[in-house]
Structure 1
């Protein structure tokens, strides 16, 4: 009878150990998702700031107006920063959409960002009252445990914008 109880104890011990491993893996997956979202948001913010900073068009300012943005320069600077950051992390399959509002009075872009971000419930219209650069990123996140049970790849979507104050 004592031998039977030892077998039951070993089985219960194994089941409890597997449960703790599954819980720990799930917590690690949640942390990885959170860390990836924070990192992607920081990259989007940095890229928007770089585009707005390095893409300034001083010709309107020299003519007596405010500072605008050179669309191609601002977009290129933001994209180059995102490409460099993704290459540093070894991420090759990501999505990026950079939009520029070059006018001194700003403007709006309907349906941008193209997908809801964070707690957004639907597509909106990005607008700004100043020249701005908007950066939308989609970054895949690798799971630790959930990849093993065929859960689809999770994608983090972030949006950040930076403008030139007049």
Structure 2
């Protein structure tokens, strides 16, 4: 869709960040009544002024070094640059998606590794708990055996004393019988 306006309509002044008199791409920060939109201008005269909303302004005339300008023709159209920008964005999104996929895979691998380590620690703790329980059981058995040994030693001593007494009694009886 092309809309032609009268020659020399002044749309406002541009605040520029690059010299309007040198060749090449010119970057402007804002444009007067059109609002604060970033603009790119290539060359100094008879050039295209492109807005991000896909409005294309042509035939820019720069009045002075302060960047005051007018547009002699105004065309509103869908520009091919949008397709290029869109495909660039799609490509960037694909790269980001690949990066996110790799990051996700790395995160999953790290979580799996942490899980395996955790499982290993849990198994080690269970094994240590079993060993500790077995040590306690063995200590208890040793304590019981020590008590039993003491009891048997006491019974043995009592038995020895009893036998000695009986031996002494027999010896005394034998001696007395003579």
Do Structure 1 and Structure 2 share a fold, with TM-score over 0.5? no
Q: Which has the greater radius of gyration? A: 2
The interval holding the TM-score normalised by the smaller chain is: 0.3 to 0.5
Structure of higher RCO (CA pairs closer than 8 Å, 6+ residues apart): 1
Query: Which structure carries more helix by proportion?
Result: 2
What TM-score do you get using the length of structure 2 for normalisation?
A: 0.33
